Structure 1
Amino acid sequence: MNILIRPKKILGVLLIIILFLEIANSIGLVFYFNDNTINWLFNLFNIRTEGNIPAYYSSTTILFASFLLGFISLFRKINGLSYSLWLILSIIFFYLSIDEAVQLHERVGVIIDNNFNLKGYLSWGWVIPYGVLFIIFATVYYFRFLPQLSKKIFWLFIISGAIYVFGAIGVEMLGAKNYHSDDFSEVTHAICYSIEEGLEMIGIALFIYTLLLYIKEEIIITVKKIA
């Protein structure tokens, strides 16, 4: 049986979709700031809000990454290989897909904001628990998981993760600083969240490419050898 996987082609398609979404978001913002009668375009493609095309795209791609991780963990389990860290990753990405769809982190942020008087870069409080969990998660995976991978997959994991986290937490903190400053600019705010969401989508696209490459180079080759 011939199993054909083209990671580069899939990555290219995802990047084209991301570019289209960013352009549509930018056009919607231009109309929003200059002519409020075309709010439907802003609502349909605004990258920051939920329940629209960019939100569905992001949630779906993260869910796809979760599925790929689950597939890898299942294959490794069947073949007597360690699989628990792959499975944990799959569960985490499943949660992130739900979070992306309904903005769970925003609700966590509201709870923290209501109980603590946070300012500046931490004024959106959800970055604190998520940031701490990420540091713990990254430390464990860096020493226990990543060394098991080939050098190419290792670096792709690092790069895709860094892009995603820099967008999700790093640029988010910059946006929080601007949002709560005395010289708040709605245009700057829009630029910040457009960059933030764009980096998140690129990070996930590259991560999907990495997982497909792993499946192509590690799993399919193994299946062919067994056959």
Structure 2
Amino acid sequence: MDQKQPLNFRLRADVVVRRIFWCFLGIELLIVFLDVFVNHYEWSSVVSIRRMVNITREDSLSNWFSSIQAIIVGSVIWLIAFAVRNQMQDNHYKRKFYCWACIGIFFIYIGIDDAIKFHERMGTACKVLLARFAGSSDPGILYSMYEAFPSYSWQMIFGPFFMAMGIFLLWFLWKELSSKRLWYWFLVGISLYVIAVGLDFVEGLDSGFYKDAGIAGFFSTEDYRIRHMSKTLEEFLEMLGTTVFLTIFLENLFRLSKEWKINISAKS
């Protein structure tokens, strides 16, 4: 039997990145649409359907999608790390490899965290532990900080870690991204994350915040509706930020080499 000719697939990197961006953005807009209309405005009378598309629930479509998103970003960054490792010539490249690997682990952690709501649950656990010091003569500085912090306790506990990681990303990617355009897009992505965390901070304030601030009255609606739309916007911005990161790192990965080849050989 004659040897079959190998199959060649040619993909333009810029086209792939652009299509992935628009595909993910379309999914995110669909998730928002389903949450707002099918869930919040109850276009569906089936409770289980509304729960599935409710963007605030842990077992919803949006939570699954955002978790997968972040894990994909982490996987792409690991590919960058391996590509850098193949270019190793000295300890300089070795340090680059470990930095990229740490960033990849961080994004994979974000995906897992999203899936199991790790930081929220750890924040609640710390809140319960700190509450035991209430009424004692010397509750300690941590309890005093917890009492003074106006929003969710997880932000007080995990905030310094995320802030430190953000500073590291800014410093490292300023040097390592293959073009300044990617760096500016990275600033867009990190800004979307910051705004999302800010909305989450506001959400954790007193339940009547939107009413007291006049936001509900300005839009002539109820406080609970504003609160839900704020949560929807927060989740959308987070997903959009992750999509921006994905396109940045994909483009950076493709720029590390002019051509990528994958060879799959069948047994002779």
> TM-score, normalised on structure 2?
0.74
Would the alpha carbon gap of residues 195 and 121 (structure 1) be closer, same or farther in structure 2, given more than 3 Å must change? Answer: farther
Would the alpha carbon gap of residues 131 and 48 (structure 1) be closer, same or farther in structure 2, given more than 3 Å must change? Answer: same
2:98 aligned residue: 84
Deviations 1:124-155 (A, max 9, x none): 11112322112212223323442232211111
2:194 aligned residue: 165
Instruction: Say if 2:53 is the partner of 1:41.
Output: no
Q: Contact (CA 8 Å) 2:66, 2:111: kept in 1 or not?
A: yes
* Percent sequence identity over aligned pairs: 19
| Partner SS, residue 31 of structure 1 | coil
The Cα shift of 1:181 comes to 4.7
1:205 aligned residue: 243
- Structure 2 Cα separation of the partners of residues 72 and 172 of structure 1: 32
| Partner SS, residue 57 of structure 2 | coil
- Structure 1 Cα separation of the partners of residues 175 and 256 of structure 2: 18
User: Which one has a larger percent helix, Structure 1 or Structure 2?
Assistant: 1
Would the alpha carbon gap of residues 72 and 177 (structure 1) be closer, same or farther in structure 2, given more than 3 Å must change? Answer: same
RMSD of aligned Cα (Å): 2.5
1:73 aligned residue: 81
Instruction: Say if 2:25 is the partner of 1:15.
Output: yes
- After the TM superposition, which of the residue ranges 205-214 and 135-144 deviates more from structure 2? 135-144
Q: Contact (CA 8 Å) 1:47, 1:55: kept in 2 or not?
A: yes
Q: Contact (CA 8 Å) 2:79, 2:253: kept in 1 or not?
A: no
- After the TM superposition, which of the residue ranges 156-165 and 95-104 deviates more from structure 2? 156-165
The Cα shift of 1:164 comes to 1.9
- Structure 1 Cα separation of the partners of residues 210 and 103 of structure 2: 40
Would the alpha carbon gap of residues 215 and 111 (structure 1) be closer, same or farther in structure 2, given more than 3 Å must change? Answer: same
Q: Contact (CA 8 Å) 1:113, 1:124: kept in 2 or not?
A: no
The Cα shift of 1:180 comes to 6.4
The Cα shift of 1:109 comes to 1.8
1:118-129 map, 5 Å: 118=146, 122-129=150-157
Q: Contact (CA 8 Å) 2:74, 2:103: kept in 1 or not?
A: yes
- Structure 1 Cα separation of the partners of residues 183 and 66 of structure 2: 24
Deviations 1:203-226 (A, max 9, x none): 00111111111122x2232769xx
Letter paired with 1:166: I
- After the TM superposition, which of the residue ranges 155-164 and 67-76 deviates more from structure 2? 155-164
1:130 counterpart (136, 153, 158):
158
- Structure 2 Cα separation of the partners of residues 112 and 189 of structure 1: 25
The Cα shift of 1:71 comes to 0.5
The number of residues matched between the two structures is 219
> TM-score, normalised on structure 1?
0.86
| Partner SS, residue 177 of structure 1 | coil
The Cα shift of 1:121 comes to 7.0
Would the alpha carbon gap of residues 145 and 16 (structure 1) be closer, same or farther in structure 2, given more than 3 Å must change? Answer: closer
Q: Contact (CA 8 Å) 2:74, 2:107: kept in 1 or not?
A: yes
1:143 aligned residue: 171
Instruction: Say if 2:72 is the partner of 1:64.
Output: yes
Deviations 1:35-77 (A, max 9, x none): 9x53223201011111221111111111100100000001101
Instruction: Say if 2:124 is the partner of 1:110.
Output: yes
The Cα shift of 1:105 comes to 1.3
- Structure 2 Cα separation of the partners of residues 12 and 112 of structure 1: 40
